[in-house]
Chain A
C-alpha cells in the first residue's frame, strides 16, 4: 500500500511536469533553492559543536519547535496542503483509514516539503557528532519528527475542513483564524519585553518545550548528550506517542471525510430577498459589474479576508505604539492600506474562475469590465483610506504630516488600482477556487503566484516613487510646501496612472477576451 501510494504521488507530480514546462522549470528552481537552504542548514549544524551543549540543545529544540509550528500554521493560513492524495479521493476504494493514513504519511515523505523536513531533521543530528548516544537518539527522533510534522499538518487541516464542512462556518473559521496570527506579534511582545530578558528565559522555555510535541523530537538528543539518559528515553517515548496521536487525529479527519457527503452544505432558506446593491448602483453594465464586485467583497471569503486584516493592523500598530511610547509607527498604516487595497484586485478575473464565461458570452466591453471592477474597489477604498489616514494622524498627533501622508496613501491606492486593471486582464494565474476549501492550494503554483505578485508589487512600488521621494524630502526639510506637493503629485499622478491602466487593460481585454477566458479555464 505504501509503495503504491508513493508511486501514485510521484506519477502525479511527473504528469504535472509533462503538462506544463513552466511548472517543471518552477519545480527545478524551487528544488535548487531548497537544496541550497538545506546545505546552509547542514553546514550550520556541522559547526554547532563549537557551542556548549546547553546552547546547542536550546537552538535545536527551538528550531524544531519552529518547524512543527510552521507545519501547522503555514498550511492553514498561507499555502493550504497538497491535496493530490486527498483521502476523499480514495473513499470509493474502501481502503480502511487504518491502512490508508500510515501509507499517506509515508508518501508525504516523498513530497518536496516532506523530504526537505526529513533531510533538515537528519542534518541537524550533525550537531551532536561529538556524542555517540546523542547521535543514536537524534537519527530515529529525526525520522519521527518529520513524520509527525506531516501527520499533524494533515490532521489539523483535515479536521478543520471536516468539522467545519458547512460552507458558511468554514468561511467564517478561515477568517477568524487570521486574528490570532495577525496578533501573534502583539502576544509575543507581551510575553517577551526585551531581548536580554528573552535570552535569560530561553533555557527555561526550551526545557519546557522539550516535553511538548513541538520540541521533544529535537530535545531528546540534547538530554542524551548531557547524560540525562532517563529523560532522553522519556522524551523518545513521548515522540512515539506524539506521532501515534497525530496519526489518530488524521484518521479521525479521514473517517469524517469518508462518511460525510461532499457538498456545499444544507441550503439556508429565507435569505434576504431583493437585489441589494444590484438595485442601487446604476443599471449599466459597468454599474452591474461594480455592484457584483462589492457583493463579492462582502460575501466571498477570498476577498473579505483581506478586509479583516485592516482593523487588525490598526490594533497591532496601536499596541506597538503604546508599548514604544510614541505612535509614529502607526502613520505607516494609511499608505500600507492604500497599497494593499490597490493591489487586492490584481487577480480579479482569475478569482471569477470559469464564471467569467458570462462576461465573455455577454459581450461585455473591456471598458465596462475594467471600470466596474476598479470602481467597485475605489467606491469604498478611497473613503476608507482617507478616514484611516486621518485617524492615524490624529492618534500620532502628526497633523503637519497629513497632506504628505494622504498623497502617498491615495497615490498608492490609485496607482495600485491602475496596475491591477492591467494585470488582472493580462496575467491569469491559479488562485483558490470559489467555494473551495480555504486550506487547499492549486498544485504546483506557489512560486508562480509569488513571482506575479512580486512583479506587480514592484511595479506599483516604482510608480509611486515620485510622491514617496517628495514625502521623504518633506520629512527631512520640514518644509510644508513639499507636503502639499506630495498630495498634489499623489493625486495627479495616481489618477493619470489609473486612467492609463484602465485604458491599457480595456484594450487587452477586448483583444484577447477568448484567450483570457481559456487561460482562466485551464486553472478552473
Chain B
C-alpha cells in the first residue's frame, strides 16, 4: 500500500477525533478554477460523536465521468448531500463551476441535477406530471419543459407509463423517473447517488448510455456506487472514500495501479477477513 492515509483517519471507535480546522484547503491548493465542475475544500461533517466526513478536498474536472466508491457508511451520501445543498457542512466549501453552493445556493443549484438516494418522490403525480413539475420548479418556460419531458420519458422508456401515478411504478421505473426529473433543466453537472440500485440490467444499460452521451456533450457526471466493475467500465475518474476520509482520487488508471479496481479498493479500504469463517455453515 503506497497511498497516504489522511491524518485524521482513526479506526478507534468512540475516540473523538478533532475536526480539521487548521487548513480548510489542505490537500488541494488555492481557490478552484471555475472550469472545475465541482470543487470541494476541507468538507467535514460530524453527527454527535461520529465524524461522517472528515475534511475531504476534491476536484471534479468538467466533462469527467466521476465515480465515488466506498464501503457502506463511508460518508458518500453525506458528502454528496453537502455538495448539493441538502446538508449544511460543519466545515469546508463546495463550488459548482465557480459558484459557492452555500453562499449562492440558487445559482449553484440551477447548474446541478441531483438524484438523492432513498428519497421519496411526489408520487401522487403521474410520471409526466412529476418530470414537468421538477422542470417548472427550475424556471424554464412551459414549452421547453413539455418538449424535454417528452424526450426524457422516451429515452427512459417510460412513455407508455407517462400517465401512471409514480406510486404505482416499480423500483426501477421510479429510479428512471427520478433521473429524468434531475435532468429536465439541462444541468451542467449531474450528481447521482446510487443511480443503478434496483434498476434492471437493460434499463441500467440505457441509463449508462444516456449518461455517457451527456458527458460526451460536455456535461459532468458524479455517481456513487458499490459496484466496482461498473465504475471501472463506466467512469474515467474515481475517488475512494472510507470512514469519512478520501483515500485515493484521480483517473481510474492512476487509482487502480494495474490491478482491477475491486482489488485495489479492497487493498485501500481493508477489512477483508481471512481465516476459517463460519465453519458450522458447511454441512
Contact = CB atoms under 8 A, between A and B. Distances in A.
Interface of A: 167, 264-276, 278-279, 283-285, 287-289, 291-292, 295-296, 299-300, 352-355, 357-365, 434-435, 513-515, 517-518, 524
Interface in B165-196: 165, 167-170, 181-182, 185
Interface string B86-104: 1110000000000000000
Given A283-B136, A354-B119, A295 B124 contact: yes
A361 B136 contact: no
Contact of A275 (B106, B129, B161, B185): B129
Interface secondary structure of A, over-half rule: helix
Contact of B122 (A275, A284, A285, A358): A358
Given A275-B132, A288-B133, A515 B145 contact: no
Given A354-B120, A434-B120, A362 B164 contact: no
19 contacts: A167-B168, A265-B168, A267-B169, A270-B163, A271-B126, A278-B125, A278-B132, A283-B145, A284-B139, A285-B136, A289-B137, A295-B124, A295-B125, A299-B124, A354-B119, A355-B121, A358-B134, A361-B109, A361-B112
B83 to A, nearest CB: 11
Interface in B107-157: 107-110, 112, 114, 116, 118-126, 128-129, 132-134, 136-139, 141-142, 145
A295 to B, nearest CB: 6
Contacts of B122: 292, 296, 352, 355, 358
Given A355-B119, A361-B116, A292 B125 contact: yes
Question: Which has the most chain A C-beta neighbours within 10 Å: B110, B122, B141, B170?
Answer: B122
A167 to B, nearest CB: 7
B224 to A, nearest CB: 15
A296 B165 CA distance: 12
Given A355-B119, A363-B85, A273 B162 contact: yes
A518 B88 CA distance: 9
Contacts of B86: 357, 360-361, 514, 517-518
A288 B126 contact: no
Given A361-B85, A361-B114, A515-B88, A524 B120 contact: yes
A269 B127 CA distance: 13
Contacts of B145: 283
B123 A361 contact: no
A254 B128 CA distance: 38
Contacts of B138: 285, 362-363
A355 B132 CA distance: 15
Contacts of B27: none
Question: Which has the most chain A C-beta neighbours within 10 Å: B88, B124, B169?
Answer: B124
A158 to B, nearest CB: 23
A299 B161 CA distance: 18
Nearest to B109: A363
A500 B65 CA distance: 46
Given A264-B168, A354-B119, A360-B85, A513 B105 contact: yes
Contacts of A271: 126, 163-165
B164 A267 contact: yes
B84 interface: yes
B110 A363 contact: yes
Nearest to A357: B119
Contacts of A295: 124-125, 129
A459 B87 CA distance: 31
Given A273-B162, A435-B123, 5 more contacts: A271-B126, A299-B124, A352-B122, A434-B167, A513-B85
Contact of B123 (A268, A279, A357, A434): A434
A233 B260 CA distance: 78
Contacts of A273: 126, 128, 162-163
A195 B145 CA distance: 65
A266 B169 CA distance: 9
A123 B125 CA distance: 52
A267 B120 CA distance: 18
A365 B136 contact: no
